Amino acid sequence: MNQVFRSHAIKRMFQRGITAEDVRQVLMTGKTIMDYPQDTPYPNCLKIGGEVIGRSM
């Protein structure tokens, strides 16, 4: 899976101790709780990921 992180996302990930692998895990195994198909320039969704390395995501 190819992912591109914006600078704002990288900053927040660093502040919260979230790695790119954590994000990949949630994208692959997390539950979609909201879909936003009309968002531009790309459709979006909100996911909840359960536990990643012993913490809630």
3-state DSSP of 6-45 = CHHHHHHHHHHCCCHHHHHHHHHHCEEEEEECCCCCCCEE
pLDDT of 37: 95
Residue 41 falls inside a structural domain: yes
Residue 28 falls inside a structural domain: yes
pLDDT of 52: 65
Q: Point out which residues pair with 32 in neighbouring strands.
A: 47
How many structural domains are present in the chain?
1
| pLDDT of 53 over the 70 cut | no
Residue 33's domain spans which residues?
7-56
Residue 13 falls inside a structural domain: yes
pLDDT of 13: 94
C-beta of residue 34 within 8 angstroms of C-beta of residue 25 = no
**What is the residue-averaged pLDDT of the chain?**
87
Window from 2-6, 13-17, 37-41 with minimum mean pLDDT: 2-6
Residue 2 falls inside a structural domain: no
- Residues 22-49: tens digit of each pLDDT: 898 888 888 999 999 999 988 899 998 7
Residue 18 falls inside a structural domain: yes
Residue 42 falls inside a structural domain: yes
Residue 1 falls inside a structural domain: no
